[in-house]
Each structure stands twice: as structure tokens, then as C-alpha cells.
Chain A
Amino acid sequence: GQQVMQIPQYQHVQEGEDFTTYCNSSTTLSNIQWYKQRPGGHPVFLIQLVKSGEVKKQKRLTFQFGEAKKNSSLHITATQTTDVGTYFCAGRRSNYQLIWGAGTKLIIKP
């Protein structure tokens, strides 16, 4: 069935290093959303990408939507302790069904 694969499952970084998570869909998406879930919290909407090849930035976060609208990435530059959490992508099909990735957990090494 329809899947959105998200990798890696975990990423350990030193504070100040960069972080990237990738999502790949088996089929074309109408749009893709990104959410952040802090430890013990609930998912919070970050951004939505709609157009093919779209790139959006939010301070140190850069979001990309692939040309074929099947893949997306989130890149964080110079991670900070406030970035800790799990980042989820959620791809929307043409029938408005939202398919969630399994998430990438960002862990800052002590």
C-alpha cells in the first residue's frame, strides 16, 4: 500500500553539527507537511510544501520538495539543544489522506 519511508530512524549529532532527514513516497504526493514532536509532547506543524521543487526556509531549517513530488528533506544547520525531538513528514495523497513517516529522532550528544 501507500507508504512514506523516512530515514534515518535516529541521528546523533554534536551540538553545532548539521542534521538531515529524508522522506520518500512510493507515489506522487499532493503536498507534504513536516511536524516536530518534542519528548513527551505532541506533533506540532512546521511547514507545508506544495509545489514541485519547492524550497522553504525557517531560520536554520531548510525544507525541500522533490521535482517529482515523491521525496522531501529537512535540513537543520548548526543544531541547538532546542532542536531535540522527533521530526515527522506526512505526505498528502490526492484524496486528502495523510500518510505519515516513522519519524527521525534528533539526539544531541552530551
Chain B
Amino acid sequence: EAGVAQSPRYKIIEKRQSVAFWCNPISGHATLYWYQQILGQGPKLLIQFQNNGVVDDSQLPKDRFSAERLKGVDSTLKIQPAKLEDSAVYLCASSLDPGRAGSGLKLFFGSGTQLSVL
């Protein structure tokens, strides 16, 4: 079974530039998550999609971050303009519909994109 695919693996940009990350979840997974993980901290949810609808974007800095999941499959996360404090690893994860009981709720993570803002 193919895992969650993310690209690019690394990205270095200067502050005020824009950047985009791409994620392709596991086939059949209805739920897609974007997390921000700052070094030494736990993952922080930025946005959660259920199919192509947004379930939770309460922690997304909407003045500079945007995300979309057209057709309910792959997704892109964009930052424009980037700030120094955006330096982090951006993790994409997917899971089955959380409305299902049991093990369907576990998250599968991609390898992440390490962003450095200079």
C-alpha cells in the first residue's frame, strides 16, 4: 500500500516570499490533515479536510496561509508571504473517515517538508 506522498522534501526561501507544499494521501482516505511541527514541539494542526470540505481551520493563520483540496484527493498548502517564524516541518497526514469507529481513526503521515525561511 502506497503511503502519504509529500513534496518537496526541503525548501529554503527568504522572508516575504511565497511557497507551496503538495500532498497526496493514501487512496481512499477521506480525511486529510496539514500539521506544522516546530523543532522540539508536537504537531500543531493547521487544517483538516473531510473529502473536499474544511472541518477545522481554527489554527490556520488565514492572513498568510491557505490550503485547498480540490476533488477531495490531493491537497496544497500555501504560505504567502512567509515569515521567519514559519520555519518548521509541514506534515501531511490522512485517515479514514473519523466517523467510523475503531482503528480507522489512526493517522498516516507523510515524510514532511522542511521549510527554512531566511
Contact = CB atoms under 8 A, between A and B. Distances in A.
Interface of A: 6, 31, 33, 35, 41-45, 48, 50, 88, 90, 92, 96-98, 100-103
B14 interface: no
Contacts, number: 44
Contact of B109 (A6, A33, A44, A92): A44
A6 B43 CA distance: 13
A43 B105 contact: no
B110 interface: yes
A20 B108 CA distance: 24
Interface string B83-112: 000000001010000110011011111111
A68 B42 CA distance: 24
**A contact face: mostly helix, strand, loop, or mixed:** strand
A100 B106 contact: no
Given A42-B91, A42-B111, A42-B112, A100 B43 contact: yes
A90 B91 CA distance: 15
- Name which of A45, A92, A102 has the most chain B CB atoms within 10 A of its CB: A45
Contact of A42 (B99, B102, B106, B110): B110
B74 to A, nearest CB: 18
A26 to B, nearest CB: 16
B105 A31 contact: yes
Given A42-B91, A102-B41, A102-B42, A97 B107 contact: no
A92 B99 CA distance: 12
Contacts of B44: 100
A40 B98 CA distance: 28
Nearest to B44: A100
Contacts of B108: 45
